[in-house]
Amino acid sequence: MRNALLILAALSTIARAEHYDVVVYGGTSAGVIAAVQAKKMGKTVVLVGPDKHLGGLSSGGLGWTDTGNKAVIGGLARDFYHRIYLEYQKDETWKWQKKSEYGNKGQGTAAMDGENRTMWIFEPSVAERVFEGLIKEHNIPVFRDQWLDRDKGVVKKDARIESITMLSGQKYTGSMFIDATYEGDLMAAARVPYTVGREPKAQFNETLNGIVAAHSKSHQFEKDVSPYKIPGDKTSGLVPRIHDGDPGKDGDGDKRVQAYCFRMCLTNDPANRVPFARPDGYDPAQYELLKRYIAAGWKWGNIIAKFDPIPNHKTDTNNHGAFSFDNIGMNYDYPDATYERRREIIKEHELYQKGLLYFLANDPGIPEDIRTRMNQWGLPKDEFTDNGHWPHQIYVREARRMLGETIITENHLTRKIPTTRSIGMGSYNMDSHNVQRYVDPRGFARNEGDVQVNPGGPYPIDYGALIPREKDAVNLLVPVACSTTHIAYGSIRMEPVFMILGQSATTAAILALDAGIPVQKLPYDTLKTRLEKDGQILEYTRPPGASIKPPSLKLDGILIDDTAAEKLGNWASGTLNGTQRIGDGYLHDSNEAKGQKTIRWTIPIKTPATYEIHLHYPPNPNRATNVPICILGPGIDKTIKVNQQNKEASAHLGTFPLKTNDNLTITIDTKDTDGHVVADGVQLIAK
């Protein structure tokens, strides 16, 4: 009898389809913020999706937040990071480390934030606690582990979505719908057009889109590594994780997708550490390229370069280098794949990364010092406790992108094309991880697809990127799989921006609902007024004396910007100081992770001459006075220390005779420096 009653109760739940003002599909950070905004505007809302844990990547391991300029992060996004700060003011949050030992890393300043101090570096479990707290505080109904029926679960009448139904049979009807998934599943199921992959750079007159084989310099093989089973013998076949096909022509588009990975949380605290286990299906041959690369001279310091320290002796561990935690080329079919196929892809990524950790800690072909150091790390016992301490969310860096009312391009980000309906701002680098690994014409391993270019400071994001064309859907907004090109998405795809867009999307949805109009007809002035009332930053006002595009003095010789340098570690973008001289911005180390960050220019000499070398930087009283600069070249091995508080804004590194095809490298290190280390560019003057 009891079982019969349970079945009847379940059937009645499935049959019941309560109507909501706003239905949010997807429990990402954008989804949670979207639902909170609906409640704050006095509307009924439901948050439903496949997620068991809320927060997406923000609670799934990405605790070293990619922010760009924090001044343009406002509204509920900024409130989230304020709540993170408050969590770390509690003594009980510091279980494995003294708060004083960690210091003020990743925190905003009292001058910027006032009483609403922020913290941008955090543990996954703390982020999830904040997201769950928001849900509880606003009494938002959440339905977890609910998977949209992508074949027939979206009911539309003309261009209006009426309801969505899950594979479980549960149905949700609503007036407005928000697709907050990384994959854009609701958008696609609603038959809104979208794209996957990279556009040809000529399609939107961009400079960075499409295939970039000739320009992929970061996370590249710095040593020649043979990809053949018998090194140098093409007839022996390839080792795993590389292809010998045509990588394509630079500038052309393709349907390949930039690499995914798990942002792993690791710890070196023995009391909280679970050793790396040999995963089922482990195959050491999968890591042969890495073993050869290490044998060729890749060092331990490079391997741990993105073990970014978060509180309680933990890390946010990201990809770094030519062969690392990015699973290059193994996700191309993920965006449009079935749920079953996606689970297979995710499982393969998990096996790859768990196997790589075990390989580095145990394989006899790895130098003993690396194995010893790697075994000091493990998975934290107190993170992801229901998933074997492994992140519950894979990093879907890019999947589908809507073809909406406006397609945001590189030229919007660099302000070559004006944005007239700002609903929030971004500022991070245009950042694409590698897309493919192939055999180059010389017969060695090479990666392709990495791009890391500063857009030149904060930029507004147009409302049209969130909305479909009116003929496609009039009551749907898409804040995550939004309407951009591949290269523009590389900057927009940051978690704080997704939260900003989630809030703005819901605000627009409710204003359109109240007016009884399609979201495409919403007057921008109406939207702008409400967004600003709720604390969204729609335009960036720079401090006095700084300009939108800092002055670039006319300098003689060869000028090489920071965008052309190879970066080790997490460097932040800066544009606030008006004295830098090369390009539109500069980089700085945030005065953090000293000794784990470097910037290196590799300069091929095309014209023989004696060159005077200068390093340019924006001076400031918070700069380091002892920045080590290493200059290497044929017969050159020199290290000097530069005081970057010096108001001359440049340092003479020396004068050197150089021949055609000589390679000169200039490296900025951060080890033992006593303030912020900055890099603007290098100047070579032929004498």
> Is the separation of the CB atoms in 52 and 145 below 8 Å?
yes
Query: Does residue 631 sit within a domain?
Result: yes
Let me know: does 286 contact 240? Beta carbons within 8 Å.
yes
Weakest mean pLDDT among 6-15, 63-72, 92-101:
6-15
Quote the tokens at residue 296. 């060729």
Is the confidence at residue 12, as pLDDT, over 90?
no
Mean pLDDT along residues 8-32: 76
Please give the torsion angle defined by the CA atoms of residues 347, 348, 350 and 351, in that order, rounded to the nearest 10 degrees. Answer: 120
Q: Is 645 exposed, middle or buried (0-12, 13-18, 19+ CB in 10 A)?
A: middle
Name the residue with tokens 């594979």. 167
Task: Determine the average pLDDT of the residues in 356-381.
Answer: 97
pLDDT at 599 over 60: yes
Q: Which domain holds residue 629?
A: 558-686
Predicted pLDDT at 549:
40
Neighbours of 280 (CB within 10 A): 8
Cβ burial of 212 (10 Å; 0-12, 13-18, 19+) is buried
The two structure tokens encoding residue 74: 């406002």
How many domains is the chain partitioned into structurally?
2
pLDDT at 234 over 80: yes
**Is the residue at 9 inside a domain?**
no
Express as a percent the part of the chain with pLDDT over 90.
Answer: 72
Q: What is the dihedral of CA 169, 175, 181, 187, to 10 degrees?
A: 90
Residue at 357 is within a domain = yes
pLDDT tier for residue 109 given thresholds of 50, 70 and 90: low
Average pLDDT over residues 255-266: 98
Owner of token pair 């790697």: 374
618 or 1, higher pLDDT: 618
Taking the C-alpha atoms of residue 129 and residue 136, their distance in angstroms, rounded to an integer, is: 10
* Helices (runs of H) and strands (runs of E) counted in the chain: 15, 31
* H or E element in which residue 173 lies: strand 171-179
Confidence of residue 544 (pLDDT cuts 50, 70, 90): very low
**What residues does 611 pair with on adjacent strands?**
656, 686
Task: Band the pLDDT of 580: cuts 50, 70, 90.
Answer: low
Residue 435: pLDDT above 60?
yes
Q: Looking at the domain assignment, is residue 511 inside a domain?
A: no
Residue 4 pLDDT more than 50?
no
Number of neighbours of residue 49 by Cβ within 10 angstroms: 26
Residue pair 497/430 in contact by the 8 Å Cβ criterion:
no
Residue 29: name the closest of 56, 53, 48 by CA: 56
Return the amino acid letter for 429. N
Please tell me the predicted confidence (pLDDT) of residue 545.
41
The answer to whether residue 217 sits within a structural domain is no
Stretch among 34-48, 217-231, 259-273, 569-583 having the lowest mean pLDDT: 569-583
**Spatial CB neighbours of 477, under 8 Å, sequence gap ≥ 6:** 176, 177, 178, 179, 466, 467, 505, 506, 508, 509, 519
Using the predicted structure, report yes or no on whether residue 72 has a pLDDT greater than 60: yes
Report residue 685's pLDDT band, with 50, 70 and 90 as the boundaries. confident
Is position 394 within any domain?
A: no
DSSP 3-state assignment of 526? helix
Q: Where is pLDDT greater, at 417 or 675?
A: 417
Beta strands in 5-54 (DSSP E): 19-25, 45-48
Amino acid symbol at 335: P
pLDDT recorded at residue 111:
55
At 652, which CATH number?
2.60.120.260
Q: What is the pLDDT of residue 460?
A: 98
Average pLDDT over residues 265-288: 98
Is the model's pLDDT at 184 over the cut of 90?
A: yes
CA atoms within 13 A on the CB side of 422: 20
At which of 321, 353, 380 does a domain end? 380
The mean pLDDT of 538-546, rounded to a whole number, is: 66
The pLDDT assigned to 632 comes to 85
* pLDDT value of position 110: 63
Does 554 score more than 70 pLDDT?
no
Q: Measure the CA–CA gap between 279 and 396, rounded to whole angstroms.
A: 23
Point out the least confidently predicted range of 148-157, 570-579, 651-660: 570-579
For 530-590, strand residue ranges (E) read 558-561, 566-568, 572-574, 586-588
Residue 602 near residue 566, CB atoms below 8 Å: yes
Cα 179 vs. chain centroid, distance in angstroms? 20
Region 166-185: what's the mean pLDDT?
98
* 50 within some domain: no
Query: Is pLDDT at 569 greater than 80 in this prediction?
Result: no
**Is residue 513 situated within a structural domain?**
no
- In DSSP terms, 561 is beta-bridged to 681
User: For position 243, what pLDDT does the model report?
Assistant: 97
Last residue of a domain, one of 311, 345, 380: 380
DSSP 204-246: TT-SS-S--GGG--TT--SS----BSSTT-GGG-BPSS-B-S-
**CA–CA separation, 419 and 415 (whole Å):** 8
Phi first, then psi, for residue 377 (nearest 5°) are -110, 160
Residue count (the chain): 687
474 pLDDT above the threshold of 90: yes
Q: 611 is written with which tokens?
A: 């060159």
Check residue 562 and give its pLDDT.
Answer: 82
pLDDT at residue 6 greater than cutoff 70: no
- C-alpha–C-alpha distance, residues 541 and 461, integer Å: 16
Q: What is the pLDDT of residue 374?
A: 97
- Residue 447, SS3 per DSSP: strand
Give the separation between CA 546 and CA 19, rounded to whole angstroms: 50
Q: Looking at residues 657-664, what average pLDDT do you find? A: 83
Q: What is the pTM of this model?
A: 0.82
pLDDT recorded at residue 555: 61
Structure tokens at 592: 């953090």
Kindly list the distances between the CA atom of residue 252 and the CA atoms of 330, 435, 489, 637, 680, in Å, as whole numbers in the listed order. 21, 14, 18, 40, 31
pLDDT number for residue 564: 78
**Greater model confidence, 381 or 568:** 381
Task: Assess contact for 27 and 56: CB atoms under 8 A.
Answer: yes
**Residue where a domain stops, chosen among 349, 380, 411:** 380
* Residue 121 in this model has a pLDDT that exceeds 90: yes
Which among 78-92, 213-227, 534-548, 582-596 has the top mean pLDDT?
78-92
Distance CA 65, CA 276 (A): 25
**pLDDT value at position 612?**
84
Tell me the average pLDDT of the chain. Answer: 91
Greatest mean pLDDT among 66-70, 220-224, 398-402: 398-402
Q: Which H, E and C letters describe 601-650, residue by residue?
A: EEEECCCCEEEEEEEECCCCCCECCCEEEEEEECCEEEEEEECCCCCCCE
13 pLDDT more than 50: no
pLDDT of 577 reads 45
Distance between CA atoms of residues 60 and 127, nearest Å: 9
- Rounded distance between C-alpha atoms, residue 665 and residue 684, angstroms: 12
- CB-based contact 30:501 (threshold 8 Å): yes
